[in-house]
Structure 1
Amino acid sequence: MEKETQRELSRALTPRHIQMIAIGGAIGTGLFLGSGTAIKEAGPSIILAYIITGLFCFMMMRAVGELLLSNTKMRSFIDFVRVYLGEKWEFAIGWAYWLCWTSLAMADLTASGIYLRYWFPSLPQWITPMIVIFSLLAINLFNVKWFGEMESAFSTIKVFAIIALIVVGLGMIITGFKTPTTHATLTNLVNHGGFFATGLSGFILAFPMVIFAFTGIEMVGLTAGETANPKRDLPKAINAVPVRIGLFYVGAMLVIMSVYPWNVINTEQSPFVQVFTGIGIKAAAGIVNFVVLTAALSAANSAIFSTSRTLFVLARNNQAPQWFGRVNRHHVPVNGLVASSLFLLLIVLLNYFVPNQVFVLISGVATISFIFVWILLLITHIKYRHVGKIEGVYQMPGYPITNYLTLAFFMAVLIVLIVDQATRFSVIATIIFFILLVVGYSLGHKKTNL
């Protein structure tokens, strides 16, 4: 009988799964719920912020794609960090990426508890995360195809909601639909203080919120080891990122702020609710709440997948306990799944004791952690190119200028996060965590060599 330690991950993810996982990574709860706050911060210029951020995220994904397709025997981008930056940075990025998805899952699990209370006001906020964690764990334990099917279903719901918003909004714009303050028209984008209505400062401060909406976009890079045909499927998924950003983010923002001027958007509810309510859909709030709930469940599902695969790769590379490198007869890293899921139960306690403070703190840590990981992946790609090992036709466009511009952009966003008092603590805490990872590895490695 095949031993658990000898089994590898299966390659059961189909092209449809990969496409929908990529879509799920590109569309987060930030678009449905947080976009109202982002609009208030930047005004119509939030559209430009989405375009700029989407462009640089696409460049980062192209760098990751080139790495993955240069050697399809590698299980994920973490393996490439080991090859080109060394084991110390592999250890750091692996555990940092685990923190990325753990913190993002905690934020979305907290959100799921908030969303469910829309229908059940007396339901304690901590119960929903606990139910969600055990439910997703049970589903993911069977095989990776179940994960792919769940993500496909969640992503389909999100896509339908956005397309419905755009179609309804365009209909309102074409017919000149009258709202309580004005009528639906494209000129609403410039008639209320101009395109940069809140000034340059508002435009710049919106970038961290936009980045949070894109967190998880690189997750398709973790599917390389479980994809049937990575050379065919990964480029298709990555190349479609600009189209998705143009349709889902830019299209949605254009419609929302054309129907309702940016300065009358209600930050207490999703802008989607305002648009659907405007045409007389009384159940709009409930429908959008359901969509946002599925987006939160999608993020939690992706987190359980990502953290377990990260632990698997780290274990196989001797950067984590070997126990995490075992897979069951379904070729699922069961120990990593269980361990990550049990750790997520910490959010149940946090929601029980400090329900009002947990979301802001955790979401800040998630955003900053993802930016650090993206920066390290870009540096890995630069090192890969420096050693002259260029293989395949799927190459980073505009290298090396695009690499350095993308690095500069992500570092600039980090500076904005440090300047902003609301996120400064999260930045400092995350930097300390990274330093402890690198120093801890160096000290541990030094002891083993004595």
Structure 2
Amino acid sequence: MTTDSAVTNTPPTTSAPHDGEGYSHALGNRQVGMIAVGGAIGVGLFLGAGKRLVTMGPSLIFAYAICGIAAFFVMRALAELVLHKPTAGSFVNYSREFVGPWAGFVTGWMYWLNWAMAGVAEITAVGEYMHKWLPHLPNWISCLVALGLLVLANMVSVKVFGEMEFWFSVLKVTAIVVFLVVGLGLLFSHAHIGHYTASPSNIVDHGGLFPHGFGVCLLAFQSVIFAFAGIELVGVAAGEAKDPHKIIPKAVNSVIWRIAVFYIGSVLLLTMLMPWSGYDAGESPFVTLFSSLGIPGIGDVMNLIVLTAALSSTNSGLYSTGRILRALADRGEAPKFTVKMSRRHVPYGAIALTGVVYLLGIALNYVVPSQAFDVASEISSLGVIFTWGMLIICQMRLRKKAMAGELERPAFRMPGAPFTGWATLGFLALVVVLMGFAGGSTAIAFWSIPVLLIVFFVSWRVISRRDRERLEVS
């Protein structure tokens, strides 16, 4: 019988027809590491933190910390699965191997739904950000140009994607580091910022840690998880990494301190430099802070950062959905053309399908009210929560099989398993339940769950019947 001390891998019990075949292992340590960083920093921090500060106050620090712990365990579960079998199909193949064929089907399409909905909002936002510099240029032109460049980059090769995401991440990380250094200097010098004085007392002097009550903090967990969406991208990139067994543990372990520093540290510093009530829900808190200092050109700088975050998210969406769709197409669970690979080892059919959805999103921006895009963002978070939960379940099944002697676990494992796995699943279930009480677009997304269940149930029945008929004919 295999025990927890086992450190080697045996071949997986199942495999997809291609199972990663045809991909080039061109992503190095530098690129995969920065992809992990970029996945943890996005518009959710640069822009979304302003709205959350206004509605939650300092309790946002608590929300980031709790959700960050869950994110860490999800990433450790993912790392164990990746080291068991690195594959570009990632979540689809793990769900199929450890839970069942239906789980791979649902997980793949839920993850695609996540990036499809998020990408629609992100690529549309690019036009809004560009409007600051080119006010007379129609937004749809900026969106089309940006989408065209990103699709082209993803079509050329995975190395081009990796380089773009590397530099996107460098810019985002540099911006946060600069803020932390400058912010600490302002705090220690008790600088006057607008009508306020930088001081740790700003955290509690304006209604305490929970100015709007603890319930508001609980209801915000879903939006905070959405802010963390993308950290799991490193699991997809592992299938094209040069040395995943060496790269992935480092990248995954770095996620927790990056969340602690970039999210918790930034919000903590923001609430000490200015009271939470001094920020604007419709503006990046970083812009609000530096504008209060009277620093010229800060609006342009932060606009560039937020634009970069939107481009990075769209870029990652094209990359990840391309690999996930091909994994689905391997089993006949996605359109046939999405399985096709180019000479440069790129799943161009799958990337093109997601690109078309993003293109439709640009068109819909002119006929659908902005509330619809809020709903799209909330629905996309369901994909994140489902994917995270499925990764935990897969890790638990992997561990169970290892204990039964059916396979051997990697040396890099999820700490505290299986208890941390059950705790994380319970937390994610709580987040979904709380969505029903949030109201607005979040509640609409919650009530879309039955619709999604029906669609997936019917679709899987059709696919299963088709496969049975093929077997009978053969």
The one-character-per-residue Cα deviations of 1:324-378 (angstroms, maximum 9, x if unpaired) are: 2221111111111222212221111111212533421211111122111211221
CA drift at 1:136: 0.7
Matched, 1:418 2:432: no
Show the counterpart of 1:378: 392
Q: Which moved more, 1:44-53 or 1:309-318?
A: 309-318
Shift in Å, 1:76? 1.7
Aligned mate of 1:429, from 426, 448, 454 = 448
Distance 1:400 1:279 in 2: 49
SS of the equivalent of 2:447 reads helix
Q: Equivalents in 2 of 1:45, 1:126: separation in Å?
A: 38
What is the SS of the residue equivalent to 1:394?
coil
Q: Secondary structure at the match of 2:364?
A: helix
Q: Distance in 1 between matches of 2:88 and 2:154?
A: 22
Secondary structure at the counterpart of residue 274 of structure 1? helix
Structure 2 counterpart of 1:256 = 270
For 2:282, the equivalent position in structure 1 comes to 268
Alpha-carbon offset, residue 178 of structure 1: 1.3
Are positions 1:126 and 2:140 aligned together? yes
Question: Contact conserved, 1:219 with 1:306, CA < 8 A, in 2?
Answer: yes
Cα 1:5–1:409 shift into 2, 3 Å: closer
Match for residue 338 of structure 2 among 298, 320, 324:
324
Partners of 1:44 and 1:56 lie apart in 2 by: 20
Give the match's secondary structure for 2:333: coil
Q: Confirm whether residue 69 of structure 1 aligns to residue 83 of structure 2.
A: yes
Q: 1:74 to 1:351 in 2, by over 3 A?
A: closer
Bigger mean CA deviation after superposition, 338-347 or 59-68: 338-347
Equivalent residue for 1:401, pick from 412, 415, 419: 419
How far 1:145 moved relative to its partner?
Answer: 0.5
Q: 1:56 to 1:316 in 2, by over 3 A?
A: same
Q: What secondary structure is seen at the aligned counterpart in 1 of 2:70?
A: helix
CA 1:252/1:357 → structure 2, altered by over 3 Å: closer, same or farther? same
Taking a change above 3 Å as real, the CA distance of residues 149 and 60 of structure 1, as seen in their structure-2 partners, is same
Q: Residue in 2 aligned with 1:438?
A: 457
Cα shift readout 1:9-53 (whole Å, capped 9, x = no counterpart): 000000011011111111110101110111112211211111111
Q: 2:55 — aligned with what?
A: 41
Change (3 A) 1:351 1:300: same
Q: 1:436 to 1:66 in 2, by over 3 A?
A: same
Cα distance in 1 for partners of 2:91, 2:129 equals 34
**Residues of 1 paired with 2:97 and 2:412: CA distance?**
20
Residue 434 of structure 1 and its aligned partner are, at CA, apart by 3.7
Residue 11 of structure 2 corresponds to none
Contact 1:22–1:217 (Cα < 8 Å) also in 2:
yes
Report the CA distance shift for 1:14/1:304 in structure 2 as closer, same or farther (over 3 A): same
With the length of structure 1 as denominator, give the TM-score of the two structures.
0.95
TM-superposed CA distance for 1:267, in Å, is 1.7
Q: CA deviation at 1:279?
A: 2.9
Q: Distance in 1 between matches of 2:196 and 2:20?
A: 66
What is the number of residues matched between the two proteins? 447
Q: Distance in 2 between matches of 1:402 and 1:91?
A: 26
Distance, in Å, in 1 between the alignment partners of 2:296 and 2:450 is 46
State the percentage of identical aligned residues.
Answer: 38
Letter in 1 for 2:452: F
Please report how far the alpha carbon of residue 447 of structure 1 lies from its aligned counterpart in structure 2 after TM superposition: 4.5
Q: What are the ranges of 5 or more consecutive residues in structure 1 without an aligned counterpart?
A: none
2:303 to 289, 302, 317: 289
Gaps of 5+ in 2: 1-17, 470-474
Give, in whole Å, the separation in 2 of the partners of 1:122 and 1:66.
51
Q: Using the alignment, how far apart are the partners of 1:391 and 1:7 within structure 2?
A: 24
Q: How far off is 1:263 after superposition?
A: 1.4
Per the alignment, in what secondary structure is the counterpart of residue 276 of structure 1? helix
Aligned equivalent of 2:192, options 145, 167, 178: 178
Q: With structure 2 as the length reference, what TM-score do the two structures score?
A: 0.90
| AA partner of residue 338 (structure 1) | A
Change (3 A) 1:448 1:12: closer
Residue 92 of structure 1 contacts residue 438 of structure 1 at CA under 8 Å; is this kept in 2? no
Q: 1:132 to 1:416 in 2, by over 3 A?
A: same
> Quick one: which of 84, 107, 111 aligns to 1:93?
107
- Is contact 2:396-2:418 (8 Å) kept? yes
Counterpart in the other structure of 1:392: 410
- Alignment partners' CA distance in 1, 2:464 and 2:194: 66
Look up the SS of the partner of 1:332 in the other structure.
coil
Q: Structure 1 residues 20, 50: closer, same or farther in 2, change over 3 A?
A: same
> Which deviates more, 276-285 or 30-39?
276-285
Measured against aligned partners, the alpha-carbon deviations of 1:276-328 in whole angstroms (never above 9, x if no partner) come to 22333121111101100000000000001011111111122332244322211
Letter in 2 for 1:219: L
State the alpha-carbon separation in 1 of the partners of residues 196 and 349 from structure 2.
57
Contact persistence 1:7–1:326 (CA under 8 A): no
